[in-house]
Amino acid sequence: MSDKAAACPHCGYPLKSKSSLPPKKKKHMRLPNGFGQISEVRGRNLRKPFRAMVTAGRTDEGKPIVCPLRPVAYFETYNEAYEALMKYNAHPFDLSNKTTMQDLFDMWLTTKEKKVDSSTISRYKRAWAYSSSIHNMLVRDVHISHLQNCIENGTIVYAGETRHAQNNNKDSMKNLYNLLFDYAVSRELVDKNYARMFTIDSGYVRKPNSHIPYTEAELDLLWANIDKHPIIDMILIQCYSGWRPGELCDLKMKDVDMDVGTFTGGLKTKAGINRTVPIHPRIYNLVKARYEKALEAGSPYLFFTIRQRGFHHQNTVKGEVTQMRYASFSVQLVNEVVPLLSLNSEHKGHDGRITFVTMAKKYNMDEYAIKRLVGHHIKDLTERVYTQRSIDWLKNEIEKIP
């Protein structure tokens, strides 16, 4: 009989005291039904041998279908695996969901296309183009390191040339990821927004005067040369109404009431959508002239262009009628109107809106009237929800601007 035997193999008589026997391995408590499974992978020299599995469904016979916990399924200790299962069960997500990041972007973009202007959509698409390394990844598998890699190493191919994301592109990419994962959380595709768990220092610094109002002298120049360029009237209309340039271009004929003297539109924010703005007396004839031209041309939009042999022509009714786009408005303002009238070279498409707010404050327009007219959120609950403001009140306020 071996001297290492703990008991007689024939009769079972103990040959060693219990204290000399190796301790029995402590068994873990049985996990609750549906909680998941933890198993130790034996026979392989693994640094992380404990595998966590979660229930992803059941067979027709009612037996659980399990799959590895995502994104990490292997752990060094049983307790680490158990803690990961605890976190998953506190905020479970559908592991069978095969939604890719490209699917997520396409779904999210459809919710934005009717709410923001075309230039913003273009910026989103350009930022997404630099994110090709995550396009085909499952949403649930994308984490901070993947997003940071896109921002630091993202490229696109343009005209046969590989281009890296510039600093302003990196800011746009980070903003896009924030919004995409907000949407993913709302759809319960993931349980947390990893994009908002890190920051970037792109080195991109916006000019402190990125938007500047037109001076009184510049406004006088615009009024004195209104016939010198087809969009000068648009600039003046914006200065006396406060529309964002994209909102200005999106104004539809059906939303312009020349009898009452108002136009309705708005994009981007909940407070800005479908807001009604009185037509200031100084621009009434400008709006009326545009309205009559649009009627004659059969344009559904107040501001339109005529596409003819690859060119755009205003003030003519021959050719294909198309909507005036923000990009076209901005390019004409910067490249044509500004040098034509020797205006400040820093002027951009939003500056008419900035001019309106500046004049409104200068002439003591009611603060709530300003917010309602430009589509800014009103924090005061009483004013926002319980106070009804009439068009006549808004007209009286906007006419404080001479």
Which residue segments constitute the domains of the chain, with CATH numbers given? 18-90 (no CATH), 101-197 (1.10.150.130), 216-398 (1.10.443.10)
Residues 158, 160: Cα–Cα separation, whole Å: 5
Q: What is the pLDDT of residue 160?
A: 80
Which two tokens mark 233?
A: 């009237």
Contact 280, 240 (CB under 8 A): yes
Most confident of 84-93, 297-306, 316-325: 297-306
Residues 252, 303: Cα–Cα separation, whole Å: 8
Comparing 163 with 34, the larger pLDDT belongs to 163
Q: How far, CA to CA in Å, does 227 sit from each of 223, 237, 327?
A: 9, 14, 22
Banded pLDDT at 312 (limits 50, 70, 90): very low
pLDDT at 340 over 70: yes
pLDDT at 105 over 90: yes
What residue spans of 25-142 are helical by DSSP H? 78-90, 101-112, 118-129
Banded pLDDT at 147 (limits 50, 70, 90): very high
Q: Residues of the chain with pLDDT > 90: what percent?
A: 45
β 74-75/64-68 pair status: unpaired
Q: What is the pLDDT of residue 28?
A: 75
Residues 398, 386: Cα–Cα separation, whole Å: 22
Instruction: Give the tens place of pLDDT for each residue, 222-262.
Output: 999 999 999 999 999 999 999 999 899 999 999 999 999 99
Average pLDDT, stretch 278-295?
A: 96
Q: What is the pLDDT of residue 202?
A: 60
> What does pTM read for this prediction?
0.56
- Beta-carbon count within 10 A of 302 CB: 25
The beta strand positions in 240-396, using DSSP E, are 256-257, 262-265, 275-278, 304-308, 311-313, 320-323
Instruction: Give the tens place of pLDDT for each residue, 32-43.
Output: 777 888 888 888
Q: 3-state class of 55 per DSSP?
A: strand
Average pLDDT, stretch 375-385?
A: 85
Contact 214, 239 (CB under 8 A): yes
Banded pLDDT at 317 (limits 50, 70, 90): very low
Comparing 226 with 26, the larger pLDDT belongs to 226
Banded pLDDT at 311 (limits 50, 70, 90): very low
pLDDT at 218 over 60: yes
**Mean pLDDT score of the chain:** 85
Provide the b/e sequence for 114-138 (b: ≥16 CB within 10 Å): eebbebbeebbeebbbbbeebeeeb
Contact 266, 275 (CB under 8 A): yes
Using CB atoms within 10 Å of the CB of residue 257, give its burial: 0 to 12 exposed, 13 to 18 middle, 19+ buried.
Answer: middle
Banded pLDDT at 327 (limits 50, 70, 90): confident
Contact 89, 136 (CB under 8 A): no
pLDDT at 315 over 60: no
Residues 242, 245: Cα–Cα separation, whole Å: 9
pLDDT at 205 over 70: no
Q: What is the pLDDT of residue 230?
A: 93
Most confident of 20-29, 85-94, 370-379: 370-379
3-state DSSP percent of the chain in helix, strand and coil, to 5:
45, 15, 45
Provide the b/e sequence for 389-400 (b: ≥16 CB within 10 Å): eeeeebbebbee
Average pLDDT, stretch 344-366?
A: 94
Q: What is the pLDDT of residue 26?
A: 63
